[in-house]
Amino acid sequence: MKSVSLQYANALADIALTQGAAEAVTQELTGFSALYAESAELRNFLSSPAVTKEAKHRVIEKLLGRVGGSKIVRNFLLVVVDHQRAHFLPEIVAAFQQVVRQRQGITEAQVSSAVELNDPQKAELESTLGRLTGKRVEAKFSLEPELLGGAVVRVGDTVYDGSLRSRLNELRARLVSE
């Protein structure tokens, strides 16, 4: 993550968390970011040094009127545009979401399992991972039949491999070395 994006993300997170508006700001920024990503014309307009700040402000005001933007998001976007950082907007939004989750003690886990897990199994796995990490875990589940059985869990840089495939590979390695 670029330091510029992280600086803006941290500043916005400070304000949003202090005012208890982190979730609302996240939703509003995501909405504006979607408009920004969809429109090359908007990206060029907001990034162009030839366009006046006032014109950019008017466009931001109109767009926020459509997606329902708060004063926090409005002021933030105006600062980003005034400092000619609009081209960093997608990175800033991603960094903001990451910073907010981190400050709220939420971590994300990627769970790949050989078979589809039912809701109680998913809840139990998230609970266990929460106890291991000391954070609230939000897991994203995917199917990987080539695991043969069990699951592989990735939380940040840590991988918990409880798959049958890895157990068989370990057994094979032990048998070959003997």
Residue 178's pLDDT is: 77
Residues of the chain short of pLDDT 70, as ranges, are 1
pTM of this prediction exceeds 0.85 = no
Residue 160's pLDDT is: 86
Element of type H or E holding 72: helix 71-82
CA distance 161 to 168: 12
Residue 169's pLDDT is: 85
Residue 69's pLDDT is: 82
Tell me the two tokens of residue 136: 């609230």
**Backbone torsions φ then ψ of 97, nearest 5 degrees:** -60, -40
DSSP 152: E
Domains assigned to the chain: 3-102 (1.10.520.20), 106-177 (no CATH)
Q: How far is CA 174 from the centre of its chain?
A: 40
Residue 148's pLDDT is: 82
Residue 110's pLDDT is: 93
